[in-house]
Structure 1
Amino acid sequence: MNGYHLYGRDEQLACLRKTIERLPASGGALTLIGEPGIGKTALLRAAVHEAHAAGLRVLEATGVEVEAGLPYAGLHQLLRPVLPAAEELPAPQRSALLTALGVADGPSPEIFMVGLATLNLLTDSTIGTSTLVTADDVQWLDNPTRQVLAFVARRINRDPVALIATLRKGYPDPFTGAHTTELEVPRLDNYAARQVLSHSASGLTKPDQAHILREAMGNPLALVELPIAWKTRDTHSAESTPAFLPLTARLEHAFAGRVAELPEPSRDAILIAAIDHSDTLPEILAAGTILSGRKMTIDALDAAVAARLVRVDGMHVRLHHPLVRSAVLQSETLARRLAANAAMAEVLVDEPYRRTWHRAQSTIGTDDMVADELEATHTIAIRRGGVIAAIWALERAAQLSTDSAVRGRRLLLACEHAFGLGQTELVDRLLQAAARTKLSRLDHARMEWIREIFSDGVPGDAARVEQLCDIAEQSADSDDIDLALNLLLGAALRCWWADTGSRARANVVAVAEGLAGVQDDPRWGAVLAVAEPVLSAGAVHDWLALMTPVVHTDANALRLLGMAAHAIGDPIRSIDLLSRAETVLRAEGRLGLLSHTLTMQAVDLLLTGDWNRAAEVIEEARQVAEETNQPIWTRGSLISDAILCGFRGDVERTLTLTAEVEASASRDKLNNLLSFIQLARGMAWISTGQYGLAYEVLLRLFNPEDPGYHQREGFDGVMFFAEAAAHTDHHTEAREVIARLEKTALITPAPLLHTQLLYARPVLAQDDRAEELYLSGLGQDLTRWPLVRAKLELAYGSWLRRQRRVAESRTPLRSAHTTLALIGAANWADQARGELRATGERATVVGPSPLDMLSPQELQIAKLAAEGLSNREIGERLYLSPRTIGSHLYRIFPKLDITSRGQLAACLDSPTRIRTAAPDRVQPLS
C-alpha cells in the first residue's frame, strides 16, 4: 500500500490488500483487533488510501466514546455522502432509515429494517462502483449502528462491498457470528520498533532511546508519543510518567502533560471538543466562548494542533487519538467538566435531546426540571432506535428526581427497555434499585411483571402463578387492565412450560374470565389457551372463530391468535394465522418476533405434512433467533429440526439434537420441550423400523408421572404411538391409552387430537371393527392433513392385503405412496412400495427430486421467484441484498436443470419425478 511506511506490518497490509482486491467479484468483512495505540487506525488509513487509488467509493465512521449513547450517530456519519440515494429505496426502508438518522419524523423504526435499508443503499447498483466501508474504534460506536453494521456484515459476501473495522482488544466483537475474518494486530518486533523510534526520537541519546524502547514494548503509538513527552519532561524531577503504570495510562499521562501546558483558550477549546458529541468547529467555538467568557476564534486551537492533540479538517475538529479524550477529561477538574457541559447545553437550543443530555451532565444533586426533560426526551432515543441512550436517560432522570416513587417508576421504565435488549445484568441492577424506592401499588405490580418476563422460560411454580394472579387482580382493580393481561400471560406461560397443577391453571383462567371488556384483546384468549389448553379449548375455539376475521394487519395480535390456536391443538388455524403474522413482521422488519412466529409454525407444518415448508421455516427460525440473540427460541428451532430429522429417519442427527437440548430442559423441568424430545426420538425409531424403541419413548408422552408428559403436547404423538404399538405386542396397553384420550376428546374440540385418533382407532382395533374405522377416517375431509391421510391409506391398504383383498388394496397403497413421496417421507413411501410389490404390482419408481438438491434457503428463494417476485422484492422478504439473491438463483438454475425464471413454477409444481414401471404382471402372493 504505497505511501504508507508501516514498519513490521507486511502481513496485515497483505490481508487488507486481498480484501480490497476481491471487489467487485465478492465482498466480506474484516475486523482488526489490538490494544490501544497498536496501529489499527494506521492500517485502516492505509486501506482507505489503497481503495481511493483503485477508484472505490469509501465510506467512513469513527466511534467516539462520549457519543456511544447517541443513537445512529455512527451510521449517520457513515452514510452521509450517499444519503441522497436513499430516495431510491422502497418506501418502508427509506422511512425507517431517514427516521433513524433524524432526517425525517416517524414511528420508531425496527433495527432490522434500518439494516436492510443500509444494505441496499450500499449494494444497489444504481449508486455506482464497489464500496469500502470503514469503522474505526467500533467498540465506541453507538449500539444501533453496531447492530446495523453486523447485519450488513452477515450479508455482503456476494456483494461489491468490503467492511473493515477496528476493535480495541478486550471488547466483544459486534460481528461475532457474522462470518467475518478477525485479524489481530500484534506488537512490533524489536527490529520494526527501532525503525519507528529512529524517525521519532531524533535528538535523544542512545540510553534514552533504549529506555523508551523498553517502555514502549512494541507499541507504535508509544514509540511516537513517549519521545515527545520525554523531551518536555522536567529533567530535575523524577521521571514524569511512572514506569509501573500500564502502557495505556502512561500514554494518557503523556497526552495529559501536553494538555496542561496549553494556554487557557486552547484548554477551553479542547475540553469542549472532548465532551462534545459532534466535531463541528462552529459548535465547539460557540460553547468555548460561553465557557471562557470571551469570544473564541479558531486561533484558540493552534497550540493544540501544534502539540499534536487535535487536527482541524475543514469545519471539523478531530482529536489526534481516542486517548487524548480520556487524557483531557482526567486532567480537568469536576467543576470544569460540569461547566463545559453547561456551556454545550446553552449552545444546543435547537437540539432538545442533546441539550438535555448535557444539562444532565452538568448537574450535581437533584433537579426535577432536568429529570422531567430527560424522561420526556428519552422517547426521541427510542424512536431512533437508541434504547441504550434511553435507558441512560431514564436512569439519570431517576438519580435527579427528589420523589422516591417517581424515581422508582423511572427505573422500572428503564428496566423494561433493558429487558428488550436482553441485558440480564442491567435488568437485575435496575430492579434492585427500584425495589429500594417507595413504589406505588401499580408500580409494585409492574415490577412483578418485569421480574416475570425477565425470567422467561422459568417453569411451573404454582405458588408464583397464584401470586401473579393476585397481582393481576390488584392491577385490574386499579384500572390497569393492560398490566393485568401481561401478568396473566406470564402466569399462563408458566403453566404451559411445566405442570403447575390444576388449581393454579384454573386460577389463571378464573382471573382472566373475571376481567371486564377484554374479550377482544388477543392476550385474553391466549391466556386461556396457554393456561388450560384442554379444558378451555372449546371456549377458545369459538373465540378464535369470532376473532380471526377481525384482525388483518396487527402482527402481534396475529401472533397471539396463532399461539392460542397452537395451544389448543388447531394446527391448520395456527399455520394460517402465524403465516399472516409472518408476512407483516417481515414487512415491518421485526425479526425478534419473527423468530417466535416461525418456531411455533414449525411443528404444526411437520404434523400436517408440509415438510418442505417446515424445513425452510426451521432453518430461518434458527438463523433469526441466533441473530437476535434469543437462546430459548434457538432451542425451539433445534427441537423442530430434531423432529424433522426423526421423520426422515436420520437417527444420528436426531439423537445429537435432542441430547443438545435435553440437559437444559431436564434441569429446568421443561416438560414442554421434554415431550418434543420424546416425539423426535420416537419418529426416528419408527422411520427406521425400530418399533419397540419407538413405543417405549412415545409411551412417556401419555404417562402423567413422567417428566416428558404434557397434557396438550401429547396430542402430537397419538398417531405415531398407535403405529409403534401396532407393530409390537403392546396392543392391549396401547388401547387403554387411546381410551383415555377418547375421553379427553369429549372435552376438547382439538382438531389435532381428533384427527390423529382417526388413525389410532383402526390400527389398534380388532379385525372385525377395523375396516369400519378405516373408512370412517378416510371419509373425513383431510385435505389439509396429507400426512394423516397418507398414513391412513398405507395402513388400510396393508390391512386389506393381509385380508387377501389384494385388488382393493392397490388403490389406497398407490395414493399413499404418491403422497408420502411428495411429502418427502422416504421410509413410509418405501413401505407403501413394498406393500404394492407384495400385491403383485410393480410399484412406481420415484426418482430423486431436483428440489432435494436445494438448501432450505435456496428452496425459499426459488418459490418466491416462481411467484414472480423480483430480486429486490425477494431480498426485502429475506433481508438479503438483490445481488445475493441473484447469486443464489445463478446456482439454483443448474441444480434444477432450467435456464430461466419462467421455468421455476413448473419445476416446483412437479417436485418429484415419478415414472411408472412396465406393467409386467407377476403372480400375486396372496
Structure 2
Amino acid sequence: MDSGFLIGRGAELAVMYAAVDGIRTQGSVLVAIGEAGIGKSSLLRAAAAHARDSGYQVLEVSGVESEVGMPFAGLHQLLRPILPSLDAIPPAQQRALRSAFGLSDGPGDSLFLIALATLSLISEAAVERPVLVILDDLQWLDEPTRDVLAFLARRIGNDPIVIVCARRTGYPDPFGDASLGQLEVSGLDENDARQLLLQHGGDLDAADREAVLEQAAGNPLALVELSAVARNVAHDPALIPLSARLERAFAARIDELPRITRDATLIAAVDTEGETSEILAATEALSGSPVTLDVLEPASAIGLIDFDLVHVRFRHPLMRSALIQCESGARHRAAHSALAAALEKNQYRRTWHRAQSIVGPDEEVADELELSHVESLRRGAVVAAICALERSAQLTTDDSARGRRLLMAAEHAFGLGRADLVDRMIAAASLTPLSALDQARMEWLREIFHDGVPGDDQHILELCRVARASADAGDTDLALNLLIGAALRCWWANPGEVARARVASVTLSLRGAREDPRYVAALAVAQPVLQARTVLGILSEISVETVLDAEALRLLGLAAHAVGDQPLALDFLQRAERKLRDQGRLGLLSHVLGVQGVVRLDLGDWAGSDSATEEARRLAQDTGQMIWSVGPLVNEARSAALQGNSEQALQLAAASEQMPTLRSLNLFLACAQLARGFALITEGRHNEAFEALRRVFDPADPCFHPRERFCGVMFVAEAGVYADRRDEARRIIADMEDLTRVTPSPLLAVQLLYARAVLADDDAESRYREALAADLTRWPWVRARIQFAYGAWLRRQRRRIESREPLRQALGVFRLIGAKAWAENAQTELRAAGDRTATAVPVSLQRLTPQELQIARMAAQGMSNREIGQQLFLSPRTIGSHLYRIFPKLDITSRNQLSARMT
C-alpha cells in the first residue's frame, strides 16, 4: 500500500531527500504540513528508508491523541533505541532523563535540563553516524515532549542531526522560526489520482471510480480506502469532512471484527504505551475471559493494526480515531477501567486511566490524582501535574478541596510561565468558597503576570493591603510574594511615592523576614533611593559564597543592582548564573543574564554585557517570556551608543519606544532616552544630547526614573560642558548631590566624581585628584572617563607633558572595552599633547559576536567544548564550529593562543 501512496510525490520526495542528504553539512528541521491522509506519513517513511540506506541512525516517534496527557511518553519512545548510551552524558542529565521516564526516583528536574539531556544524548549518537529524527503527527505528541523537541530544533544547526516531522493542517508549529522550511503536502492531481485508484480499485466500474475520485479530492488515503467501500461512497454526503468520511470507511471494517478483537483494539486505541502484553491483560479484564495474541489477527488482516510480541501499532492515526469514534462513551470508560486494572504496579498511569473511566464525583480517585501530581512534578512534567490537579478538582464534592487544588494548579502554572493556565485555574477557583489566605493567593496569581504593566497606585496599595492581611494570618511567605509583585510594579513603572512608601512600610513591618532575599529585594526595587542605606546594610552582612540557592542569589543581585552597587550585584548574579546553568533553569537564567547585561554595561564590560544581553533575549524567547525577550532592546541601544554605533543606537531606542510592551514602562523609556543621549554625545551633538538626558532627571517627564537617572549623571554633565549649558547641568548635579545625604548608592557616588570635576571652575584640579584617588578598581569605565577628562583639562592648561599619562591610560581602557568614539577623542588629545606613540590599534574583541565572545572567554579559561556546551545549552560540535570562526577573527590559529588574546 505504501508504494502506491508515493505516486505523484516526486517533488515532495526530492525535498525530503535533500533535507536528509544535507545532514552531513548542517542540522536542520523540515515540517511537512497537510490534511489527514494526504501522505505525510508515507513521505516520512520514505525519508527514514533513505536515511537507513545511507547508513544513518533513525529515531522515530508518532504522536497519539490519547497520549497527549501523558508527560514525556513521546520522548521516551523516541529515545528508547539510544537509552543504553545514557552513561555517555553528564550525570545530572542522566538523572534528569531517568526521572522523566520514571526509570528512577529522585527530585524533579527542570524541563530545560531534560531538554539539554536530550540534546546531549542525540549529539552523542550523532558522533558515530548522522541521526535522522522522525516525528509523525507532531500535533499529538505530549506537551513536554514538544517543548523538548522545540529546544532541540533550535540547537542542531552545526550537528549532523536532521528533524523531519509531519503536522496536520490547522495545528500550530511548536518549532516556530527554528524550522528549516515547511513542505506543504497537497492533493494529487487528476492523472496521479487516477493512476493510484487504478492500482487499488481497478475492478470498480466507471461510475464508482468517478464517485471515489470526486469524494477523495486527490487525497491518497481516501482514494485507497474509499475504493474498498465504493458502493457506499455515493451515499456519503460531500459536506462531511474528508477525515470523517475516511473514519466511516474504516468503521465499516471495524464492524466486521469479532467482539473480543474489538475489545483489544479499543484498548490499544486508548492506551498510552502500545505494549502488547499490557493490551492483552486489559482485554482479559474487559472481556472476563483469557486471551492470546491471536485476538489481534483479525484487526491485522483488515489492515487496521500491525503487531508483534512487543508493540501494537495502528497503521494510520485515522484508523485509531475511527475506532474511538464508533465506540460509545461507556465502552471508552470500560476500556480505561480495564487498563487501570491491568496496571496495578504502575500507580501513576493506573490513576490516570481510572480518572478517565468515571463520570461524576469520586473522592477516592480525586485524592489519588492529587497525590499523582507529585509524581508528575518529580518527573518534570508540570503540565501533567496541573491537569491532574484540575481533574481532581472536578471529581471532588468538597468545595474547599476543589478551590485548594485549583490554586495549587495555578501556582504550578505560574512557575511554568503559562499565563493561560493560570487564568483558567483561578477563574474556576474564584467560583469556590476560599479562605482569606486563599483569596490573597488568588490575587497574587491573578496579577503576577502583569508585573511591570503600570497600574494605578491604588492597585499597588491593594496588593499591600492583601499582603498585610496575609502576614497577620501567619502566611509571611505569601505576603512576601505579594510585596515582590507590588515592588516590581514600582520598579518598572512610576506609581508615585505614596505607593512606593507603602510597599516599603509593609515590608519593613514583617517580623522575622529580614533574612529572606525577597524582603531586601522588595525594599530595593520599591524605593531604590530611600531604602538604599537599609538594603546595603543587609547586603553587607551576607557573604556571596555562603548563599547556595540560585533564586536567593538572583534576588540579592537584583537588590544590589537596584541600589546601585553594581560590583556586588555582579558577584551575586554570576554565582546565580552558574547554579542556574547547572540546574538547566533557563527561565530564571534569562532574568539573571538580563540584569547582568545592564550591570556589566555600567562597569565597562561591554563585550560581556552584549553576550549576556543576547543570550538573555534568546533564552526568554525559548521560554516564552515576552517582557524579558524585548526588554534587552534598550540595553542593546545603550551598548551600541557607548561603543560609538550611534546610528544603530538611535534606531534601537526609537524602536523600543514604539513597542507596546515597553512604551508605557518608565524604566525602559528612561533607558531608551539615556541611549539616545549617549549616541548624540558620540556624534558631537551635545545640545541635543543635553535635552534628551535632562528628561530622565525631570520627575514630571514620562522618561523619569528615580534610580536609572544615576546612569546619566556623567553624561548630562559632559553634555552640559560641551553645549555651554554648565549652569543647567550644575542644577541637575546639585539635586543629585542632595540625594547623597539619603542614599549611599555606589553608582551615584562614582558618577558624581566625574560630574564634580568636569563642572568645576577654580577647584577643578583638586576635584580631578579627588576623583582619581577614589577606589575605582571595579569601575574601569568611570576611571577612564575621569582620566581622559583630566588629561584634556591639563592639556588646555598648557601642561602638555603632564596630560599624556592620564590620556594614555584612558586610551588603553577605551580600546580594551570598545569605546571607539572616546578612543578617537583620546588619540586626538594625545596628538595635540605632542604624543605620537599611541597609534597602534590592538586586535579588538569587538570583531566577535556576543555569543562568540562568550565561547572564547570560556575556552580561554581551559573549558572543553563539551563543558562549554553544557553551560550554554549547545552541542559540543556547535561550540567547535564557533571556535573555527573565532580563531581567524582574533588572528590566531590554535586554542592555546586564546588566553593571551583574551587578556
Q: Fold conserved (TM > 0.5)?
A: yes
Q: Take 2:401 and 2:445, find their aligned partners in 1: how far apart are those partners? A: 17
Mapped to 1, the partners of 2:3 and 2:308 lie a distance apart of 20
- Report whether the alignment pairs 1:653 with 2:648: yes
Match of 1:133 in 2: 133
Residue 74 of structure 2 is aligned to residue 74 of structure 1? yes
What is the CA–CA distance in structure 2 between the aligned matches of 1:427 and 1:347, rounded to whole Å?
35
Counterpart of 1:893 in structure 2 is 887
Give 1:770's match in structure 2, choosing from 764, 784, 795. Answer: 764
Q: 1:515 aligns with which of 510, 517, 542?
A: 510
1:430 counterpart (425, 446, 454): 425
Cα shift readout 1:252-292 (whole Å, capped 9, x = no counterpart) = 22222322332211221111111111211111111111212
- Report deviation, 1:761: 0.8
Contact in 1 for aligned 2:544/2:572 (Cα 8 Å)? no
Give the match for residue 796 of structure 2: 802
Amino acid of the structure 1 residue aligned with 2:527: E
Q: Map 1:283-298; keep pairs closer than 5 Å.
A: 283-298=278-293
- 2-structure distance, mates of 1:81, 1:828: 58
Deviations 1:359-388 (CA, angstroms, capped at 9, x unpaired): 111111111111111011012112222222
Alignment of 1:432-447 (within 5 A): 432-447=427-442
Shift of 1:750: 0.4
Correspondence for 2:15? 15
Partners of 2:57 and 2:805 in 1: how far apart?
66
Cα separation, 2, equivalents of 1:396 and 1:558: 36
Cα deviation, 1:691-749, whole Å, max 9, x if unaligned, reads 11110110001000000101111111111111111111221111111111101011001
Q: Distance in 1 between matches of 2:730 and 2:253?
A: 88
**Structure 1, 590-599 or 876-885: larger mean CA deviation:** 876-885
The CA distance in 2 between the partners of 1:176 and 1:136, in whole Å, is 17
Q: Secondary structure at the match of 2:831?
A: helix
1:414-471 per-position Cα deviation (integer Å, ceiling 9, x unaligned): 2222333443333222222111111111111110010121323222421111111111
Tell me which residue corresponds to 2:46.
46
**Of 263-272 and 3-12, the range deviating more from structure 2:** 3-12
Match of 1:786 among 780, 786, 796: 780
Name the CA distance, whole Å, in 2 between partners of 1:813 and 1:876.
Answer: 42
Tell me if structure 1 keeps the 8 A contact 2:811–2:827: yes
State the one-letter code of the partner of 1:677: A
Aligned to 1:250: 245
C-alpha displacement at 1:127, in angstroms? Answer: 6.3
Q: How many Å separate the matches in 2 of 1:588 and 1:906?
A: 31
Aligned-residue offset at 1:126? 8.6
Query: 2:452 — aligned with what?
Result: 457
Match of 2:832 in 1: 838
Number of the residue aligned with 1:640: 635
Alignment of 1:532-681 (within 5 A): 532-549=527-544, 551-664=546-659, 669-681=664-676
Distance in 2, matches of 1:434 and 1:457, equals 25
Aligned-residue Cα RMSD (Å) equals 1.7
Give secondary structure in 1 for the equivalent of 2:186.
Answer: coil
Return the alpha-carbon distance in structure 2 between the equivalents of residues 425 and 482 of structure 1.
24
User: What secondary structure sits across from 2:173 in the alignment?
Assistant: coil
What is the rounded CA distance, in whole Å, between the counterparts of 2:180 and 2:586 in structure 1? Answer: 21
* 2:818–2:846 Cα contact (<8 Å) kept: no
Aligned residue in 1 for 2:185: 185
Alignment of 1:188-203 (within 5 A): 188-203=188-203
Is the partner of 1:248 in helix, strand or coil? helix
Query: Aligned AA for 2:498?
Result: R
The correspondence for 1:684, drawn from 673, 679, 684, is: 679
Find out whether 1:413 has 2:413 as its counterpart.
Answer: no
Determine helix, strand or coil for the equivalent of 1:801: helix
CA displacement, residues 856-896 of structure 1 (integer Å, 9 cap, x when unaligned):
21221111111111111111111111111112222222332
1:905 to 881, 899, 902: 899
Distance 1:387 1:170 in 2: 26
Deviations 1:162-209 (A, max 9, x none): 211111111111111225322111211111111111111122111111
Deviation at 1:555, TM superposition (A): 0.7
Please give the secondary structure, in 1, of the residue aligned with 2:128.
coil
Q: Distance in 2 between matches of 1:425 and 1:883?
A: 37
CA distance in 2: counterparts of 1:665 and 1:14, whole angstroms: 43
Three-state SS of the structure 2 residue aligned to 1:717 is helix
Partner of 1:919: none
Q: Measured at CA, do residues 98 and 885 of structure 1 come closer, stay the same or move farther in structure 2, by a change above 3 Å?
A: same
CA, structure 1 residues 254+421, in 2 after alignment: closer, same or farther (shift >3 Å)?
A: farther
Does 1:471 find its partner at 2:462? Answer: no
Which residue is equivalent to 1:308? 303
Contact 1:665 1:673 in 2 (8 A): no
The one-letter code of the counterpart of 2:73 is A
Query: How far off is 1:591 after superposition?
Result: 0.7
Aligned amino acid, residue 53 of structure 1? D
Cα distance, 1:497 vs structure 2: 1.4
Q: Is 2:757–2:768's contact at 8 Å kept on the other side of the alignment?
A: yes
CA contact (8 A) 1:850 1:895 kept: no
Cα offsets for 1:324-347 (capped at 9, x unmatched): 222222211121111111111111
Q: Distance in 2 between matches of 1:301 and 1:60?
A: 24
Q: Distance in 2 between matches of 1:299 and 1:190?
A: 41
Alignment correspondent of 1:153: 153
**Displacement of 1:132:** 1.4
After the TM superposition, which of the residue ranges 434-443 and 3-12 deviates more from structure 2? Answer: 3-12
Worse-matched range after superposition: 51-60 or 483-492: 51-60
CA contact (8 A) 2:74 2:142 kept: yes
Secondary structure, aligned partner of 1:308: coil
Any unmatched runs of 5+ in structure 2? none
Q: Which amino acid aligns with 2:801?
A: A
User: Contact 1:649–1:685 (CA<8 Å) still a contact in 2?
Assistant: no
Between 423-432 and 802-811, the greater mean CA deviation after superposition:
423-432
Deviations 1:660-702 (A, max 9, x none): 2213468763101110010111111111111111101100010
Note if contact 2:5-2:220 (Cα within 8 Å) is conserved in structure 1.
no
Q: Specify whether residues 872 and 8 from structure 1 end up closer, same or farther in structure 2 by C-alpha distance, changes over 3 A only.
A: same
Q: Normalising to structure 2: TM-score of the pair?
A: 0.97
Q: Which residue of 1 aligns with 2:736?
A: 741
Aligned pair 1:163/2:163, yes or no?
yes
Q: How far is 1:843 from its partner?
A: 4.9
Match of 2:709 in 1: 714
CA distance in 2, matches of 1:270, 1:769: 93
Give the secondary-structure state (helix, strand or coil) at the position aligned to 1:29: strand
CA–CA separation in structure 2 for the residues paired with 1:756 and 1:850: 27
Match status 1:116 vs 2:116? yes
Shift of 1:4: 7.5
Contact 1:833 1:843 in 2 (8 A): no
Given the alignment of the two structures, is residue 853 of structure 1 paired with residue 861 of structure 2, yes or no? no
Q: Distance in 2 between matches of 1:764 and 1:518?
A: 44
Inter-partner Cα distance in structure 1 for 2:235 and 2:529: 77
What is the distance in 1 between the residues matched to 2:588 and 2:812?
Answer: 37
**TM-score, with structure 1 as normaliser:** 0.95
CA contact 2:452–2:493 (8 Å) conserved in 1: no
In structure 1, C-alpha distance between the alignment counterparts of 2:157 and 2:661, rounded to whole Å:
40
Aligned residue identity for 1:60: E
**Alignment match, 1:920:** none
Deviates more, 1:459-468 or 1:396-405: 459-468
Q: CA deviation at 1:33?
A: 1.3
Q: Which residue of 2 aligns with 1:340?
A: 335
